[in-house]
Amino acid sequence: MKKRLIITEQEKKQILGLYGIKKNFINEAVSISSSQKATYEPGQSDPSGFIDTFVETLMTKINENSEAKTLLSQNKLMIEKIYVAAGSSNNWNGVKTSYDLNNKLDTKKLVTVPTDKDNVLYNKNLALAKKRGETFVPSIVSKLQSKGIKVSNSYTSKVNPFVVDTGGMLDGSRDETVYKNPGQYIGCSITVGNEDEIQKFNKKMLTLTDIKKDFVLTGSYYCDQNNALDRGKGIGNAQADTYSPMCAAVQKLYSGKSSELAKYISAFEIKWQPNILKNPWVKPVMRWEFTWADDGTGKLKISSVKLKEIQKSLIPASIFPSTESSVDDPTLKYMMGLTEGDTAGGGTIYKTFIAPYK
């Protein structure tokens, strides 16, 4: 008989503490106790053994949210984004392997480099966790559609796989007094919205010049690990993906010298103002990332520019058709100079932090 355990809110945040849970996130994590019979047979990825109970609990959560419940009753509730955290135990055919996540499910150590990341058996476990997550996404989407929830044609999904320390044992054989949590679990975070707002968004702005300065908020990040507000105030604590790996060459040259690191931009981000989508929260949608390199003479230059999609469903495809970019990208200049009315020249940010390093 399968045993199902709904974990506490605190444990849920630990498992799903991936991307900053906010009001517009509906979250559910299900952990299956493997002391009896696991949801997955060892080495398998089919979620059919628990998907129905997972959906039942998720629907309860949706109906406990007044906004989501209203949209569902109006047949207007739509999925924009799905995050899935998928785990496996650090055992492969009886052999103990490396792991990514300690048994306390401490997400602060989620990106810890395994002791042997190139080990074949560890990578088999990691691949299994990834397959479980990738199999779960279409399964949960199909089940939610059957409950009357719609799915945006441009919805995005991301799977975050990892191997959990279970003492090198299968879940059913682990010492539960030491290793409380099983390696086999699925966590899911689903962002939902109003179908009308999501569907009409790409029609609202057809060309770059349709974007006005009161439509967006902009933000920039720097190699001293700060945003624009804290730049130059010492080494900061911004999210790692706002400066790494883009600033590796800068940090190599000016390690620990925050005043020098602050001279180099690492990313520029745009967010739609709350009134644009009629939502009470601000959503980052696009980020330009600037990778630095030594030009061979001991000087630094921007070697590449990547346009990263953060909220694909909120990006007008007619304006941002590609993730390719460059230091001379007119769209980059437009967005950097928008608030100053210098859409051709890129404004102060471009002229200070981009142009001198082309």
Amino acid 289: pLDDT: 95
Asked which of 163, 181, 199 is the last residue of a domain, the reply is 199
What sign does the CA torsion over 36, 37, 42, 45 have?
A: negative
For residue 130, the model assigns a pLDDT of: 92
What's the pLDDT score for residue 142?
94
Whether residue 219 sits in one domain with residue 160: no
Amino acid sitting at position 347? G
Q: Which amino acid is at 255?
A: S
25-29, 196-200, 210-214, 236-240 — most confident range:
236-240
Task: Quote the distance between the C-alpha of residue 343 and its chain's center.
Answer: 30
Asked if residue 351 has pLDDT above 70, the reply is: yes
pLDDT digits (tens, 9 = 90+) for 156-182: 788 888 888 898 998 888 898 999 888
Task: Please say which residue of 145, 173, 199 terminates a domain.
Answer: 199
Domain shared by 291 and 341, yes or no: yes
Give how far Cα 5 sits from Cα of 36, 51, 140, 152, Å. Answer: 12, 13, 19, 31
Are both 177 and 273 inside the same structural domain?
no
Q: Which helix (H) or strand (E) holds 13?
A: helix 9-16
Residue 202 has pLDDT above 90, yes or no: no
Q: Are residues 180 and 69 both part of a single domain?
A: yes
- Bond into 114 cis (ω within 30): no
Task: State the pLDDT at residue 42.
Answer: 73
Residue 279 pLDDT exceeds 50: no
Bridge partners, 328 (sequence order): none
For 331-339, what is the mean pLDDT? 91
In terms of domains, do 238 and 151 share one? Answer: no
Please report which confidence band the pLDDT of residue 193 belongs to, taking 50, 70 and 90 as the band edges.
confident
Give me the count of residues in the chain: 358
CA pseudo-torsion sign 132, 137, 143, 144: positive
User: pLDDT grade, residue 14 (50/70/90)?
Assistant: very low
Residues 117 and 240 reside in one and the same domain: no
Residue 257: per-residue pLDDT: 92
| Domain residue limits at 256 | 205-357
Q: What is the mean pLDDT of residues 187-204?
A: 71
At residue 329, the 3 state secondary structure works out as coil
The DSSP bridge partners found for residue 309 are 286
The verdict on 338 and 236 lying in the same domain is: yes
257 and 182 in a common domain: no
Across the chain, mean pLDDT equals 78
Q: What angle do CA 234, 236, 241 make, to 5 degrees?
A: 145
User: Domain ends where: 150, 177, 199?
Assistant: 199
Residues 6+ apart with CB under 8 A from 216: 270, 271, 272, 273, 335, 338
Question: Do 126 and 175 share a domain, yes or no?
Answer: yes
Instruction: Report the predicted TM-score, pTM, of the whole model to 2 decimal places.
Output: 0.54
- How many domains does the chain contain in total? 2
% of the chain residues with pLDDT over 90: 31
Phi, psi of 94 (to 5 degrees): 85, 0
Residues 181 and 325 in one domain: no
pLDDT of 44 above 80: yes
**What pLDDT, on the 0 to 100 scale, is given for residue 284?**
72
Residue 108 pLDDT class (50, 70, 90 cuts): low
Listed residue (288, 289, 285) closest to 311, CA to CA: 285
Q: Residue 84: its pLDDT value, please?
A: 83
Q: Comparing C-alpha atoms, which of 122, 112, 125, 101 is closest to residue 187?
A: 101
